[in-house]
Amino acid sequence: MEWKPDWNLRGRMVFTMFLLFALYLVFGAYMANAGMFPFLAAMGIFMVAQFFFSDKLALYSMGAREVSEDEYPELHAMIGRLSQQADLPKPTVAVTDSRVPNAFATGRSKKNATVCVTTGIMNTLDEDELEGVMAHELAHVKNRDVMVMTIASFLSTIAFMVVRWGWLFADDDNPSGFIAVIASLVVWIVSFFLIRALSRYREYAADRGAAVITGNPGALASALMKISGRMDKVPDQDLRDQSEMNAFFIVPIKKGVIANLFSTHPRTEKRIEKLQDLERELQYA
């Protein structure tokens, strides 16, 4: 099945990426003129190395491990089937022992992807709901979201590093160092909000992709409702341990008005609403 392109969503993503590109272009030119090119180059090498090892770092931070088909045959069969439907190579499958019901995908390319689930989500969802979540993660892989968001946040991270360490290069003999720190602070704040907006748009796109892969938008909507309901029952310690992985999760851990403003994900209610619209669209197709 195929859905009609959501041009409104695509337009917002393109516009946000254009603003980021323009911001970074000005920032990069200024930093080069301020004599901080060596610092940018060193940070660039570090970021490239991090990009190539991002999948291993994400799995390590979650305490996840790669699992074989003998250990989780049904999970492997489900991901293999969905990968075929999505026209993707089957990713590596990993599991982390956690009561937090969640899942994420990582990897810099379609051929180097990993889908990770928690034991909590497997104990919470039924087969159709888990299939919807796995399809959502595969849609992230198909859309190359890890690569896109890593590139989008590249200079933002450098700007943050300049804010944090740039004072070491600033003194009375080098006033441009102070100006560079202030400029970096502005760039980091603006890009912070733009990147989160882009991330929220890409979550909507992954939800839509999951609906295309499974043909069952209602299953993912049901899974989102069930996961959100279970979050309140998870011990605070477990939530704190995994909150740093919010950008990867299918449902973020933080809640509240301020958290929604800074969130990498749209509000669950809005995601469910859009999935229900897709389900009605499917029924009348």
- List, by residue number, the catalytic residues: 137
What is the spatial distance between Cα 223 and Cα 185, in angstroms, rounded to a whole number?
39
Closest C-alpha among 107, 1, 124 to residue 59: 107
* Closest of 268, 269, 275, 271 to residue 214, by C-alpha: 275
Between the alpha carbon of residue 62 and those of residues 6, 236, 238, 248, the distances in Å are: 34, 16, 11, 11
Amino acid found at 87: D
Region of 120 please: left (phi>0), alpha (psi -120 to 50) or beta.
Answer: alpha
Report the distance separating Cα 95 and Cα 118, nearest Å: 6
Q: What kind and span of H or E run contains 115? A: strand 114-118
DSSP 55-68: HHHHHHHHT-EE--
